[in-house]
Amino acid sequence: MNRTNRTNRLSRHLRIHPRFRLLAFLLAVLCAAVSPAVAAATTSRSMGLDAATGAFREGNAAYERSDFAAAEGAYARAEAQGATDARLYYNRANALFRLNRLGPAILYYEKARKLSPTDADILHNLNFARARVADKVPEPPANLFTQALWSLHTAYSPRAGIWIAYGLFAGALLLFALGFFLSPLGRALSVIAAGLLLAALLLFSPSLLYKLRQQNTAVRAVVLQPVAELYSGPGESYELLFRAHEGTVFTIVSREGVWLAVKLPDGRGGYVRASQTGEV
Amino acid sequence: MTPRNFIRHIRHAAFALIVWTAGSSHAAVLSAEASLSANQVVTGEAFQLVVRVSADQKENLPWPTVEGLEPFSVTKNSGTSTSSQTTIINGTVSRSENHFTEFVYTLTAREGGSYTIGPIRFAFKGFDRDLGRASISVTKTEAGVSTRTSLSKSKVYAGEQVLYTLRIIPRAEVQSIDFPQEMQKRIGEKFFFQQVDHQIVQRPAKVDGREFRVFDIRIALFPLLSGPLALDGIPVEYRQMRPSNAQGQSMFDAFFGNGGSLITQTTIAAPLRMRAEPLPPGAPDGFTGSVGTYSLSAALSSPTVAAGEPVTLTVIIRGNGLPKSVTKPVMPDLAHFEVYDPEETASTEPIGTELWTTRTFKYVLIPGREGTQILDGISFPYFDPRRGVYARAQSPALTLRVTPGKPGAAGALLGAQREITEVGSDIRHIKVGNYRLRNDADLPTRHAGFFLLLLLPPLALAGAWWLRRHQERLRSDSAFSRRTRAAAELKRRLKSARQALESNQSRDFYRALSEAVTAFPSDKLNREFRGLTLPEAAAMLSARGASSETVSAYDTLLQRCDYVLFAGMAPTSDEMRRDIETAESLLARLDKELA
């Protein structure tokens, strides 16, 4: 009898408890089933991102040569490869701005801001481009409380928000778990800390859910043509209300076929052809 | 407190008229009472009627209704206070709060006689009480102080200085005079004012052909508004001896001194009227409201300075207008200088009957370019009321010779301290770098891995709960504890036997083997096998589910152990190796069958 056999026999004394055998088996099966699919998807995505990165670098080189049309073309190819990177959108917006395509430039600055809301370069260039828009729409005044809430809401990206929420959730449960092994005082403190984290999660969740909703649905539209006409209903037979110029940003209220019901920050609104706008 | 003051306090307390006190009769107002500080005064002597209202909530209470105040000069003021009380009865803590409002009428009788003040009535919400009446006897006395007021001009421009003189002529009985304290309240809204004399001394003067020793209070007034302006009568408070009354003297008065006591009286100076004209339009740039006569002087600390070295420019503005209106002068273009904010000092002093303000500005200048620099045009605009036109106080041109400076001197840094002037603006540059693009829009929630990760915290919580419960059971359930540790104990004993086998110590080997084979079922079943005979042990194993083959093997193995340990049998190493393998196999079967 060799040493291996002895080990196998002894290992039976240390084997997985029968109650957990089924769970361990299911986990193993799940991992085995999911792993190839995940690996394939990851590889495919990875190859697409590699190609996109190549096109992105080509675009950067063209931009540095002041060949903005070539740069814009390269950035478009990178985007077609499936990359949704805030830096790509920002660079493409810069190229479009240099090509005097104000509407598409603002559209891409807005897209970049959606993914990276605190990036100072994106905010600067977006404001710079907005200053060129023919239509000046005054923002309604907001009180300090609303401004503070909005600042907090816009201070993180959706991806960061998900990890913040996960951190709060995991932190709270781990603190609860830690409480099982602490003295009564330590347990009380861990429960309080966990409660605070859960409360923070509760307060944070509405902001995150709203942001995720915005992430998944287009909520703003930018006028891409020199002039877009807004009607009182979804059709050109309705009353023409006003004309908005290239780069004006609307909030999308609803969709009716090829028409978008939109409104401006000052409350004015109407129906505009979706084809005249780009959606963020 | 002297005995005499003590007696006076007692007497005032006795005079105090508590007219009516109501019990708790309403949710808000609990009680109201009225009291008078004295019932015998002289003309001009101030005394107080106080109405004190107590409420259980903080309320904005109305003033009481008091009749019979026509013969008096009345000044009213009110104040509130709060008191709280905490009571502990049979462990029950209760707290109550009372809010007191005092309505104080300060009264001064103008004529002698007997007067009745009242009825005094206080009404608020459901509370309505007549607080009664009080009688006061006023003895006519001659005023201890008379006043005269005058203005140096009755028609001025807004902001122009005008002298107000209050002459106080005291009589011999006057012990002390309080100079006007409420000037700000009386005239502060319409005038800026400042007392001309720092000290007020009594001096002889002729009034109406008679010699008196008078106090003259001189105040410089600067009208802040234009149009007709009224200077209200200013109250002058003084103290004089109450005329003695031998019949009214108490034993203490007679013992401690004469019967006269000190009383406080007030006289109101005559009000005055004047007119302030508005300033004409067309004020020059830099005009800050200075009206009067102004002069400006400027001087350099040195006529020659090296480039980059500092030189001090001192500008002094002096005038008799509103002191606060003197601000920085209008400076010439100092493009070739680095100019620091000036150090400012100011002073006011009376000259004759006017108040003059001198303000000094010390500028540190650092010339940045060599050559001769002319500082021309340091000026201060003001309005000249005598001519009725705007004017400008200006210094003669100053010449500063700037010699070449040392390399690296402060002047070389001139550009660094100026604000950067933007000459253009543009978008920021693209983001370049050797990084790889990513999918920012590809959120973690779109991946199965995230949800597996999401399971980890609840699993950790469940695991911690199970572990805690397991630990508790190990501590409290000895059978469970032995059963749980049986495998680990067996492993340890078999390891000990194997070590004995490796060193070929047969007795130690079989002792360890016997120990392992006996202890394992003991731990598994929480029954002690050590004291049992082999048939008893076999019977117990059979009763707990062990097969006959296992029981037979168990019996055989223990017998071999006994032979070696007690009968002196000497096994070979192969036999020992076979025996430990048999033991391992046997214990594995036992583990399964006894589970």
Tell me the three-class secondary structure of A212-247, residue by residue.
Answer: HHHHHCCCEEEECCCEEEEECCCCCCCCEEEEEECC
Residue A190 touches chain B, beta carbons under 8 Å: no
Note whether B441 contacts A115, CB cutoff 8 Å.
Answer: yes
Chain B residues closer than 8 Å to A95 by CB: 430
| Domain coverage including residue A63 | 42-130
Clarify whether residues A59 and A117 are in a common domain. yes
Please report whether residue A16 resides in a domain: no
B431/A84 CB distance under 8 A: no
- The A residues from 226 to 265 touching B (CB cutoff 8 Å) are none
Give residue B221's Cα distance to chain centre. Answer: 37
Whether residue B385 has a cis bond before it, omega within 30° of 0: no
What number of CA atoms fall less than 13 Å from residue B257's CA on the CB side? Answer: 11
- Do residues B134 and B36 lie in contact, with contact meaning Cβ atoms separated by under 8 Å? yes
For residue B455, what is the nearest residue in chain A, using CA coordinates?
A: A170
Sign of the torsion angle spanned by Cα atoms B209, B215, B220, B223? negative
d(CA A211, CA A199) in angstroms, rounded, equals 19
Q: Domain with A227 in it: what CATH number?
A: 2.30.30.40
| Whether A13 and B491 lie within 8 Å, measured CB to CB | yes
Per residue in B388-435, pLDDT (tens digit) is 999 999 988 888 998 887 655 544 444 445 566 666 678 999 999 888
Asked if the structure places residue A9 within a domain, the reply is no
d(CA A98, nearest CA chain B) in Å: 9
Measured between CB atoms, does B443 come within 8 Å of chain A?
yes
Distance CA B200, CA B163 (A): 16
Cβ of residue B445 closer than 8 Å to a chain A Cβ = yes
Residues of B in contact with A82 (CB under 8 A): 439
Tell me the C-alpha distance between A111 and A96, whole Å. Answer: 13
Distance of alpha carbon B159 from alpha carbon B165, whole angstroms = 18
Pairing of strands B40-42, B127-139: parallel
Q: What is the pLDDT of residue B2?
A: 40
Question: What is the three-class DSSP state of A33?
Answer: helix
The answer to whether residue A14 sits within a structural domain is: no
Minimal-distance CA residue of chain A relative to B467 = A180
The answer to whether residue A83 neighbours chain B at the CB level (below 8 Å) is yes
Partner residue facing A162 (CB), from B431, B443, B487: B443
B583 touches chain A (CB under 8 A): no
Domain contains A17: no
pLDDT at A11: 44
d(CA B350, CA B358): 11
Question: In chain A, where do the E strands start and end?
Answer: 220-223, 227-231, 240-245, 249-256, 259-263, 269-273, 277-279
Q: Are residues A207 and A236 in the same domain?
A: no
Domain co-membership, A123 together with A81 = yes
pLDDT of residue B319: 94
- A158-179 and B448-476 are packed helices; what angle lies between their axes, rounded to 10 degrees? 10
Distance between CA atoms of B175 and B171, rounded to whole angstroms? 9
Residue B261 CB neighbours (<10 A)? 16
* B187 burial via Cβ count (<10 Å: 0-12, 13-18, 19+): buried
pLDDT tens, residue order, chain A (280 aa):
444 444 444 444 444 555 566 667 777 777 676 666 656 556 666 778 889 999 999 999 999 999 999 999 999 999 999 899 999 999 999 999 999 999 999 999 999 998 898 899 999 999 999 988 888 887 777 788 888 988 888 888 888 999 999 999 999 999 999 999 998 899 999 999 999 999 999 999 999 998 888 877 878 999 999 999 999 999 999 999 999 999 999 999 999 999 999 999 888 899 999 999 999 8
Do A59 and A89 have their domain in common? Answer: yes
A114 shares its domain with A47: yes
Q: Which of B426, B431, B523 to probe by mutation at the A interface, max A CB count within 10 Å?
A: B431
Q: What's the number of domains chain A is made of? A: 3
Q: Note the pLDDT of residue B177.
A: 81
Same domain, A197 and A150: yes
Question: What would the two tokens of residue A95 be?
Answer: 């190229």
Q: Which residue of A lies nearest to B495 if distances are taken between CA atoms?
A: A10
Q: Output the pLDDT for position B244.
A: 56
Q: How many CB pairs under 8 A join A and B?
A: 119
Q: How far apart are CA B280 and CA A2, in angstroms?
A: 120
Cβ distance of B430 and A129 shorter than 8 Å: no
B166 and B216 in contact (C-beta within 8 Å)?
A: yes
Contact B448 A38 (CB under 8 A): yes
Q: Tens digits of per-residue pLDDT, A115-138?
A: 898 899 999 999 999 988 888 887
**Is A125 part of a structural domain of the chain?**
yes
In a domain, A1, yes or no: no
Q: What is the pLDDT of residues B82-104, one digit of tens each?
A: 887 777 777 777 777 888 999 99
HSE on the CB side for B175, CA within 13 Å?
10
Rg of chain A on CA atoms, in Å: 27
CA–CA distance, A121 with B260 (Å, rounded to integer)? 88
Q: Say whether A125 and B427 touch across the interface (CB within 8 A).
A: yes
Give CA–CA dist B32/B579, Å, rounded: 109
Q: Of B579, B499, B585, whose CA–CA distance to A10 is shortest?
A: B585
Residue A138 lies in a domain: no
Q: Name the stretches of chain B with pLDDT < 70.
A: 1-28, 179, 181-182, 242-260, 406-424
Distance CA B359, CA B490 (A): 101
Does residue A122 lie in a domain region? yes
Contact in structure between A86 and A119 (CB atoms under 8 Å) = yes
Task: Answer yes or no: do A177 and B437 touch at CB < 8 A.
Answer: no
Residues 13-72 in A contacting B (C-alpha not used; CB under 8 Å): 13-14, 34, 38, 45, 49-50, 52-53, 56, 60, 63-64
Tell me, yes or no, if B441 comes closer than 8 A to chain A by beta carbon. Answer: yes
Distances (CA, A) of B339 to B333, B334, B399: 11, 8, 17
Q: Are A229 and A210 in a shared domain?
A: no
Nearest to B431 among A49, A90, A124 (CB): A90
Quote the tokens at residue B144: 């201890």
Nearest to B588 among A9, A14, A180 (CB): A9
State how far the Cα of B317 lies from the Cα of B325, in Å rounded to an integer: 11
Is A272 within 8 Å of A262 (Cβ atoms)?
yes
Location of structure tokens 């462990």? B91
Q: List chain B residues with CB under 8 Å of A212.
A: 443, 445
Contact residues on chain A for B585, CB-CB shorter than 8 A? 9
Domain boundary among A189, A216, A243: A216
Q: Which helix (H) or strand (E) holds A249?
A: strand A249-256
- List of domains in chain B: 3-86+95-139 (2.60.40.10), 145-275 (2.60.40), 294-413 (2.60.40), 478-593 (1.20.120)
- DSSP for B403-431, written as a single string: EPPPTT-GGGGGGGGSPPPP----PPPPP
Q: Which of A130, A161, A182 is the last residue of a domain?
A: A130
Q: Which two tokens stand for residue B220?
A: 């410089």
CA distance B514 to B81: 93
Put simply, whether B455 touches A (Cβ < 8 Å) is: no
pLDDT value at residue A54: 93
Give, in order, the Cα–Cα distances in Å from B461 to each of B333, B465, B467.
Answer: 76, 6, 10
Min Cα distance B512 → chain A (Å) is: 17
Q: Which two tokens stand for residue A94?
A: 């810069």
B440/A157 Cβ within 8 A = yes
Residue A234's contacts (CB-CB under 8 Å, 6 or more residues apart) are A256, A257, A259, A261, A271
Q: Tell me which residue of B281, B419, B307, B416 sits closest to B365, measured CA to CA.
A: B307
Beta bridge partners of residue B313, listed in sequence order: B300, B363
Cα atoms in the Cβ-side hemisphere of radius 13 Å centred on B348? 18
- Which residue(s) pair with B382 in the sheet? B391
**In the numeric block, which tokens belong to residue B63?**
């003033």
CA nearest neighbour of A134 among A264, A245, A253: A245
Final residue in a domain of this structure, among A194, A216, A238: A216
CATH number of the domain where residue A115 is located: 1.25.40.10
- Answer yes or no: do B440 and A85 touch at CB < 8 A: yes
- At residue B342, the 3 state secondary structure works out as coil
B457 touches chain A (CB under 8 A): yes
pLDDT at residue number B254: 42
Distance in angstroms (rounded) separating the CA atoms of residues B511 and B517:
10
Which residue in chain B is spatially nearest to A20 when comparing CA positions?
B463
Q: Which of B394, B384, B395 is nearest to B283 (CA)?
A: B384
Residue of chain B nearest A97, judged by CA positions = B427
Cβ within 8 Å, pair B431-A91: yes
